Amino acid sequence: MNELSNSKKLYEKAKLYISGGISSQIRTLEHSEVPLFIKSAKGSKIWDVDNNEYIDYIQGMGPNIFGHAPNFLNNAVSNEIKNGMIYAAQFENEIEVAQNDVVLDLKDARANLVRGHMRLSLGKKGSMKESNTTLDNIKQSVNLSDLEYEMPRMGGRGGPGRGGPRGGGRKPSGRWGDLMQLKRETGNKKFFNRDEMTEDQIVAAIKEMGGE
């Protein structure tokens, strides 16, 4: 049986300030006398405050795909932090990440579009790595980069759900509503950003699609 005196002390202290003494109900399922309090981790191993060593099969519920505190990530993050962390502006590295000639190989993953931007979801079993395959050799029967659309805004006040009664939201009104309806009728895939378009630009887009 592992020595857990320090975890026990911290658990009693936590119960004075945190409901149930734990930050997640999953802690109640741990196979120990009390929830373990971890002090450090490296690779596949974690150590509690009583210096007991464990093999960590959970890895943060999935995101630690390289294990805990891998040296190459520690070094890369340390170097970048020296240059500042949040600029709230454009910077060169984001171009390198998004450059067109980088092909990602996704396994057990899902990709979708949200307001014209691609989102990737790896889940617990998914993986992502850079591929050596060129785009010319990849099947593109479903190419999300070619799809553009406008997600309807949520609206309404009161009633069930964010969209008011039935949670359906408000239908777009005015010339913007005309543009969205024409877009659906014609099957046009062009993306329109309502927040960045003037009334004249909306009218011009309607006329461009053959509307009045």
Quick one: pLDDT at residue 10?
A: 95
Domains annotated for the chain, with CATH where assigned, are 1-85 (3.90.1150.10), 86-146 (no CATH), 148-156+170-212 (no CATH)
**If the chain, 212 residues long, is cut into consecutive pieces of 10 residues, what is the mean pLDDT of each piece?**
91 91 78 90 95 92 89 91 84 73 76 66 80 64 49 46 43 78 83 79 88 82
Quick one: pLDDT at residue 92?
A: 83
- Strand 110-114 and strand 45-48: the pairing is unpaired
Quick one: pLDDT at residue 148?
A: 46
pLDDT for 34-82, tens place per residue?
A: 899 999 999 999 999 999 999 998 888 888 889 999 999 999 999 888 9
Quick one: pLDDT at residue 132?
A: 78
Quick one: pLDDT at residue 154?
A: 46
